[in-house]
Amino acid sequence: MRFIPRVRHVEDDLAVEAVTDEQELVMEYRDETNRPWWKFFDEYEYRQNKYEKSGHKWFKWFDERDSKEDKKLILKLDLLLTCYSLAVYWVKYLDQTNVNNAYVSGMREDLGFKGNDLVNVQAMYLVGAVVFQLPFMFMLPKVPLNIVIPVMDLCWGLMTLLCCKIHSVAALKVIRFFVGVFESGFVPTAYFLMGSWYKPSEVARRAGFFYMGQFLGLLSSGLLASAALDLHGVGGFEGWRWVFIVDAIATLPLAVLGFFVIPGTPDKCVSLFLSDDEIRRCRLRMKPYANEATTREKKPFFSLALWKPLVTTWRMPLLVLVACIFFNNNSGNSGSFILWLKSLTDSEGNQRFTNQKVNQLSSVAPGLGFVYVYAASLFADMFKCRWGAIAITQTLNFIGCVILAVWDVPEAAKWFAFCLQYTSWSMSPSFFGWVSDIMRHDPQAYAIVIVAMNMMGQSTSAWVSVLVFPTKESPRFTKGFATCAACAFGCIVGGIAVLYFYKRDEKRICHKNGIILVGSTVEYIEAEKEEFPEKEGIETDIKLLRPLLTHRFLSYTIAEAYSAKPRPPHQQSKPPAGENRPPTGEDAFFHVSLSKTDSPESYTYSSAAFGVADGVGGWAEMGVNSSDFSYYLCHESSQLAVQKAQEASDKPLATAVSPKKLLIDAYDKIVCEKTVKAGGSTACIGVAGQDGQVAVANLGDSGFMVFRNGKLAGGSKAQTHAFNTPYQLAIIPEELKRSDERQGLRHIEDTPGMADQFSFTAEPGDVIVLATDGLTDNMSAQDTLKIVNETMLEHGSWIQDAKEGIKSSGEHKGAMDLARRIVRKAKALSTNKQHLSPFAKEVQQVMKVHYMGGKPDDITVLVVIVNE
């Protein structure tokens, strides 16, 4: 087996990845105040913003923003994956439908078919295909697909070849069962691979092209069968036996080719035709779509954590239900068209068409299906409307099935109805491409769902076809055609149901798609740690559910207050000569305008960056100034914020200045320029724009809270490794690391990328409080809320309404007074030994001891009041 390509170990290029990460998503701010009702049917309303849509034209194979390298890579993937999948799907359908062609070409008489033998043979194939799809739920993300699939293809080709040697219906049933077994993994694997290599916007066209293989198989099956009949008697084989031989000859070489063509996945690539740089580029292209196994740790297959979200949410139950309906909406597999052609007689009662002519004419319907599937895929891509492609194709299918169910119609009407027969399957690329998009955030769950859809769909068709398409009723399958009509209607209803739930979920995460909604009551989904790579910060939209005001310009009044805890002389931090630092102890803060029009003397900004940092005090014991790191982190963050805002003045502030990126760049600059030799800090940094969009990044146990109309509206949670051990940025000298390693010690050295990032839309009268843990260790959020309410009401910034409760007055004052009151209260509680502080509660819970009192510490608070 040395000739088979092996997994290539290609390390990601960190420099290239860093450049890619800097490409921030351009945001669209969308007013939903008077959203028209018909927008419900706009499938991509929350999936793509206008900037993303402008980069894709339906009549172009590539996106407008694809580079030359991307286009070259995509073409390679199209040749390796899409074209090969089309070819294998073609022979799959040759091998699946050749029984019908052989049946009308002499096999029925030679083997002595009786009653429902034909439909039972077809059912045996489906049983094999269904049962052996089950292992692929577990295997898909794990096994070497470039070996498993070609080996199975070789086996199905050999099984097809064996069909030429059978002499009984029973033997044919056994062989057809194994043909189904060895074909079972191909379709879910093909969709899985496309979802791994192509972006969601690229899948529909490729899936449509791939699905043409099915109709190409149906189309050429009759023509090849007709040609094979000319070989009757050659080698001692009847013409119908040559049908199986010819199909096997087409299958086996493609199976061998699969060892070299199937590329694996970007994470475990085996392709001989992709360079290392192209593999890296593939990984980077797919990174934002979380479609590859590298983006998350796989859960155990039989774990509750994997299966509970699948079975308790709408995705798996509804998608599998629609798949079951879809697999039973087509009468083509029953052979109804070819059996009807064979039943036609001339005026003298003789068979109207010869067997060769019957096989040739049977290619008409699948030939039109070839057109239908491409037209449906083109429609879905052109209008960004996959549900529409499903609805249109199934409406046509419904019309055709109703005509055939009635049956007593002119022959021309039957021709018309049979010609619509394959509109049923033409929804497949749109539907399965949609599933890939729906499940894009979890490849492991996607593998399970796609296999379940195929398995359950085919399992229902195995017994439904026996019930409603009994061979003895041919060619008039009244029950069969009526069932297909009902399933066509069910597909339409199912498509609309999927659209509803899909749009509901996309609306909740639309901020990740570059869309910020204004004038909406959308309840954003809060991200959970397990949805993101280990040791990376989460990104969360705070649940502020009140309808938002529109067409306004906001400003921000910012005030600070601080109090340093007493320290012995040897631990007191002294800034370098020439630096005028406020006496904040080991804490630091900043707030700076990001607009050229703001007055430098004013503390009211039309757009601003602001933040606090809490230096790690333990460094003082080692002779290090513990305040240096936090001070320079804030200093560099403020300068970088101004610089980035000036460089990208044509972009929305939320796009140009990301607080998490500020934290990363500020830390990198301190490390690279060696501004600080040693030290550490937690940090909380925010950016606010005049459009009301606020983003905050928090690392460690500093944090922020948002207060609106007398209530706590949201905030951050402390990031900790253990009790009293927060996440923290650090610079640790190499000699100290080596010394500690010899003693079995380890310093905490977290990265800025581990910060949580939050975003929300501010409203006039909102109060945003950023603080170091000197506040949160000593005062609960409710304690802080009480002071906020009292102060804002006293200054008239909030008013008490008998009906509406506390609300904004329109005059927003008192920022400095509020900051000072919060700090004074926290300071008093920190020294109160009878106070049951948040810190005391945590000590009691973790240490299992009775402890009362606060925690003396540096306290720094920034208060941001939002003005209209």
pLDDT in tens, 692-738: 889 999 999 999 999 998 889 888 989 998 888 899 998 888 777 77
475: cis peptide before it, omega within 30°?
yes
Instruction: Give the pLDDT score at 105.
Output: 81
Task: Supply 579's token pair.
Answer: 């630096």
Considering only 108-117, 525-534, 555-564, which range has the smallest mean pLDDT? 525-534
- Please give the pLDDT value at position 654: 55
Domain of residue 374: give its range.
Answer: 70-357+370-508
More confident residue, 529 or 11: 11
pLDDT at residue number 103: 86
* C-alpha–C-alpha distance, residues 718 and 331, integer Å: 60
CA angle 774, 775, 778 (to 5 degrees): 90
Mean pLDDT of 149-171: 90
Residue range 409-418, pLDDT digits in tens: 999 999 999 9
Q: Answer positive or negative: Cα dihedral of 656, 658, 659, 661.
A: negative
List CB contacts of 853: < 8 A, sequence separation 6 or more: 831, 832, 833, 834, 835, 837, 840
**Are residues 438 and 332 both part of a single domain?**
yes
Question: Which has the minimum average pLDDT: 201-210, 337-346, 590-599?
Answer: 201-210
* Mean of pLDDT values over 431-446: 83
The reply to whether 536 and 499 lie within a common domain is no
Which among 123, 188, 124 has a CA at the least distance from the CA of 152? 188
- Note the pLDDT of residue 402: 95
Average pLDDT of the segment spanning 581-608: 83
∠ CA 279-435-512, rounded to 5°: 70
pLDDT above 60 for 520: no
| Residues 497 and 628 occupy one common structural domain | no
Task: Report the share of the chain in percent with pLDDT over 90.
Answer: 28
DSSP string covering 779-810? S-HHHHHHHHHHHHHHTTSEEEETTTEEEE-S
Most confidently modeled of 193-202, 566-575, 785-794?
Answer: 785-794
Q: Which of 10-24, 160-174, 431-445, 598-612 has the lowest mean pLDDT?
A: 10-24
Residues 452, 137: contact at Cβ < 8 Å? yes
Q: Which residues contact 253 (CB under 8 A, 6 or more apart)?
A: none
Cα–Cα distance measured from residue 404 to residue 474, given in angstroms and rounded to the nearest whole number: 12
pTM of the full structure: 0.56
Token pair recorded at residue 203: 């899948």
Q: Which of 209-223, 505-519, 544-558, 614-628 has the lowest mean pLDDT?
A: 544-558
**pLDDT for res 12:** 58
- Check residue 317 and give its pLDDT: 95
From residue 574, how far is each of 676, 831, 846 by CA, in Å?
A: 14, 25, 35
Average pLDDT of the chain to the nearest whole number? 82
The total number of structural domains that make up the chain: 2
pLDDT tens track for 129-146: 888 887 876 676 677 888
365 part of a folded domain: no
Mean per-residue pLDDT for 466-488? 89
**Same domain for 478 and 544?**
no
Q: Give domain status of residue 3, yes or no.
A: no
Burial of 158 (0-12, 13-18, 19+ CB in 10 A): middle
542 and 659 belong to one structural domain: yes
What confidence tens digit (pLDDT) does each residue in 649-695 have? 656 565 578 899 999 999 999 988 887 888 889 999 999 988 888 99
Residue 633 confidence (pLDDT) above 70? yes
Establish if 413 belongs to a structural domain: yes
What does the pLDDT read at residue 760? 87
Q: Where does a domain end: 448, 474, 508?
A: 508
What pLDDT was estimated at residue 731? 87
- Phi and psi dihedrals of 806, rounded to 5? -75, 135
Is residue 84 domain-resident?
yes
Give me the amino acid identity at 183: E
Rg value, the chain, Cα: 34
Strands (E), 502-597: 515-518, 539-541, 555-563, 587-593
Residue ending a domain, choose from 508, 541, 573: 508
C-alpha–C-alpha distance, residues 660 and 696, integer Å? 8
Domain annotation covers residue 12:
no
Q: Are residues 713 and 573 in the same domain?
A: yes
Of 19-33, 328-342, 611-625, the one with minimum mean pLDDT is: 19-33
User: Phi and psi at residue 692, in whole multiples of 5°?
Assistant: 95, -5
Confidence of residue 462 (pLDDT cuts 50, 70, 90): confident
Q: Which two tokens stand for residue 562?
A: 């601080």
747-776 pLDDT, tens digit per residue, is: 677 889 899 988 888 889 999 999 999 999
Q: Are 613 and 638 in contact (CB under 8 A)?
A: no
What is the average per-residue pLDDT within 210-233? 79
More confident residue, 615 or 61: 615
Q: Please check whether residue 616 is in contact with residue 730, taking contact to mean a CB–CB distance below 8 angstroms.
A: yes
Q: Is the pLDDT of residue 526 over 50?
A: no
Instruction: Label residue 550 by pLDDT band (50, 70, 90).
Output: very low
Angle at 26 between CA 21 and CA 30, to 5 degrees: 145
Given this model, what pLDDT does residue 528 score?
A: 34
> Which pLDDT value is given to residue 750?
86
Q: What residues pair up with 515 in beta bridges, in sequence order?
A: 28
How far apart CA 324 and CA 545 sit, in angstroms, is: 38
pLDDT of amino acid 537: 53
Strand duo 805-808 + 604-605: pairing: unpaired
Residue 532, pLDDT score: 31
Measured CA to CA, the distance from residue 334 to residue 338 in angstroms comes to 9
| Average pLDDT score over residue span 255-276 | 87
**Residue 423 contacts residue 397 (beta carbons within 8 Å):** yes
Distance between CA atoms of residues 335 and 292, nearest Å: 40
What is the pLDDT at residue 767?
Answer: 95
- Per-residue pLDDT, averaged over 518-544, amounts to 44
In a domain, 776, yes or no: yes
Q: Is the pLDDT of residue 406 over 90?
A: yes
Please, which pLDDT band fits residue 498 given cuts at 50, 70 and 90?
very high
Alpha carbon 349 to chain centroid distance? 61
CA separation for the pair 733, 229 (Å, rounded) = 82
Whether 604 and 740 share a structural domain: yes
Structure tokens at 570: 């040897």
Q: Output the six-digit token pair for 631.
A: 């001070």
How long, in residues, is the chain? 868
Distance between CA 707 and CA 693 in Å, rounded?
16
Per-residue pLDDT, averaged over 252-264, amounts to 90
Q: Do 200 and 75 fall into the same domain?
A: yes
Q: At 250, list the tokens.
A: 């087409």
Same domain, 483 and 555: no
For residue 551, give the CATH number of its domain. 3.60.40.10
What integer pLDDT is reported at residue 568 of this predicted model? 60
pLDDT value of residue 49: 76
Band of pLDDT at residue 173, cut at 50, 70 and 90: very high
Q: Please indicate whether residue 51 or residue 468 has the higher confidence score (pLDDT).
A: 468
Structure tokens at 415: 């021709």
Please compute the mean of the pLDDT values over residues 224-229 and round it to a whole number: 79
Residues 502 and 539 in one domain: no
| Contacts of residue 458, Cβ cutoff 8 Å, sequence gap at least 6 | 126, 129, 130, 133, 327
Count CB-CB contacts under 10 A for residue 172. 22
Are 743 and 847 in a shared domain? yes
Please tell me which residue, 28 or 566, carries the higher pLDDT value. Answer: 566
Query: Could you tell me where the beta strands, DSSP code E, fall in 479-542?
Result: 515-518, 539-541
Q: Which two tokens stand for residue 849?
A: 């001891």
pLDDT of residue 1: 53
Residue 95, pLDDT > 70, answer: yes
User: Does any domain span residue 527?
Assistant: no
| Same domain flag for 583 and 729 | yes
- How many CB atoms are located within 10 Å of the residue 148 CB? 17
Res 652: pLDDT: 59
CA dist 668 and 637 (Å) reads 11
Give the pLDDT mean for 323-332: 90
CATH number reported for the structural domain that contains residue 165 in this entry: 1.20.1250.20
Report DSSP state, residue 33: T
Does a structural domain hold residue 137?
yes
Rounded distance, CA 147 to CA 268, Å? Answer: 13
Last-in-domain residue among 508, 524, 540: 508
